[in-house]
Structure 1
Amino acid sequence: MALFESSNPTLSEKIFRKSIDQSYGGDVMTVRGSVQKFGFLMLLVLAGAAYTWKLYYSFKVPTMLGFLFFGLIGGLVCVFAISFKPNWAKYLSPVYALLEGFVLGGLSAFINDQMKVKYPNIIIEAVGLTFGVAFAVFLLYNARIIRATAKFRAVILSSMVGIMIFYVINMLLGFFGVHIPFMQWGDNSLIGIAVNLFVVVIAALSLVLNFDQIETGEKMGAPKYMEWYGAFGLLVTIVWLYLEILKLLSRFSNNRS
């Protein structure tokens, strides 16, 4: 039995309908096209990550940090730009992928170095778990065990907004030297692990919205450039899921002898 059944109009439909209204004919998007573009974006992420990873282990940490912070700021700009202008995704999503690669590579290298004694395989496990969880969610979605219904969207989107607000508050408090203990990397308190697990679950279920968005675009005959928009949205969620899983594993590392 599918979860949260409903037939209400969706946000995805509005986004893609608007793109159709603004298009002037031509080729339409397909699920396969979005998947191919997602694969291309992942290659760019890996290329960027390999570069900053190499910088870290070549003892060029200041240079690596420069690329990392550039990636953080530039990636955020790309996210906002594509969110407001989906037709820009064709040009900005590859840029975003490369910038996020800089961030993930530098951060992963640092965490890997810090955990080399307690948890030497933390990065490999984080990557494996990320794609394992993503594949499992895809199978559940493809089997229609989980559906992206209106109620499901309401739960996931409201949770995402709540998480974002909480993370922004934590970041702002950090500027004033105030740190919430269970929000810190490596904290292995029960509340910290529980909160982290909740965020991982929400990030994983957010993939359902991405899968549905891509399918919706194909069914509605959205313009070809929306394949990039669908691939971009999927990549953003995968990056978020990876970071949350990496944080969760770093918490567990404190319990290792």
Structure 2
Amino acid sequence: MAGTNPVFDRLNKQIEKERYAGFGQPQQGRQGQGAQQGMQQASAGYAAQDAMSAQQLDEMYARDTAGSVDTGRVTLDDVIVKSLVLFVVTVGVAAASWVLTSGSPGLTLPLWLGGMFGTLALGFAIAFMKKVSVPLIMVYAVLQGAFVGAFSQYINSIPRYEGVVMTAVLATACTFVAMYAGYATGFVKVTSKTRRMFFFAIVGYGIFSLLQVVLLMTGVLDGWGFGGSSGFGVILSVVGVALAAYSLAIDFDSIDNAVRVGAPSKYSWLLAHGLIVTLVWLYIEFVRLFARLRD
């Protein structure tokens, strides 16, 4: 299962296309555009200032400078909070799905397939909708949790894969921390060139993964798909983990860009959604890798 992240691609394109009615525009640009209007209003402004009392002036100057929250822009704290909300929803539903499928194995396939195809459909809807739909994002998190729980329980129920799920969880957490540290210190760089290379790599891997899913469902392939548990199959899983890990750096950079240019606060939900999607993708790739190594 491969996970592209059109969410951040869409946001980056919109940031470049328009400056959100003044969001993120350089100060000099705004001053140049409003110079004539400012001159026309100068005399009226001075007269109004003269009419203000000394107390009113003191109160005005004593006010705190308007921050990102006051001006309706994306903040890092906002993205973190919303990411935690979606993470809790996803993990909570995954835990419920794990318990349900453990007691009723017959529910494994419906939850697995329902969650997988449901998130696929909703993912495209969320990525290409003109408006940010918080309800759809929450439903996506629920379906994603249902899929993750059923998938994880199935893997854990196979004796030779016992412990793979927990190992994959720890590996995902460690990779997240390592990639953030690497990005924050500049060791892992994201440039326009690496973004283009990553885009073509992810498109190719996505097509490859969709083809593999179709062949698995039609019975042409079995097990883990192309390469099985051979050395070639392990290499494919390593490639998947590497792509998902670098996708985290892309996500971090996209969040930084949104905060820097002052994107509207509504996009904090979209940014959080994209980050959780990448985390789940990374977890799935780790499960596949460790399971193949067990074989």
Q: Same fold (TM over 0.5)?
A: yes
Matched, 1:57 2:102: yes
8 Å CA contact 1:50, 1:105 repeated in 2: yes
Q: 1:213 aligns to what? A: 254
Change (3 A) 1:246 1:27: same
TM-score (norm 2): 0.75
Structure 2 letter corresponding to 1:99: L
Q: What's the RMSD between the two structures over aligned residues?
A: 2.4
Residues 139-154 of structure 1 mapped to structure 2, 5 A cutoff: 139-154=181-196
Structure 2 letter corresponding to 1:21: Y
Q: 1:76 aligns to what? A: 120
Q: 2:244 aligns to what? A: 203
8 Å CA contact 2:94, 2:150 repeated in 1: yes
Between structure 1 and structure 2, the one with the greater Rg is 2
Q: In 1, Cα distance between the equivalents of 2:264 and 2:132?
A: 13
Q: In 1, Cα distance between the equivalents of 2:78 and 2:214?
A: 40
Change (3 A) 1:95 1:189: same
Match of 2:220, SS state, is coil
Q: 1:5 aligns to what? A: none
Change (3 A) 1:57 1:22: farther
8 Å CA contact 2:20, 2:264 repeated in 1: no
1:4-56, Cα deviation, whole Å (9 max, x unpaired): xxxxxx87532335575379995111112111111111100111111111111
Q: In 2, Cα distance between the equivalents of 1:181 and 1:70?
A: 20
Shift of 1:131: 1.1
TM-score (norm 1): 0.85
Change (3 A) 1:23 1:70: farther
Q: In 1, Cα distance between the equivalents of 2:76 and 2:141?
A: 20
1:75-120, Cα deviation, whole Å (9 max, x unpaired): 11221111112632423222111110000000100100113xx343
Consecutive unaligned residues of structure 2, counting only runs of 5 or more, are: 1-8, 24-69
Structure 2 letter corresponding to 1:71: G
Percent identity between the aligned chains? Answer: 29
Aligned residues: 241
Q: In 2, Cα distance between the equivalents of 1:96 and 1:67?
A: 13
Matched, 1:46 2:91: yes
Shift of 1:196: 0.8
Structure 2 letter corresponding to 1:108: S
Q: 1:157 aligns to what? A: 199
Q: 1:14 aligns to what? A: 13
Matched, 1:102 2:146: yes
Runs of 4+ in structure 1 over 6 Å off: 22-25
Change (3 A) 1:232 1:66: same
Structure 1 letter corresponding to 2:272: A
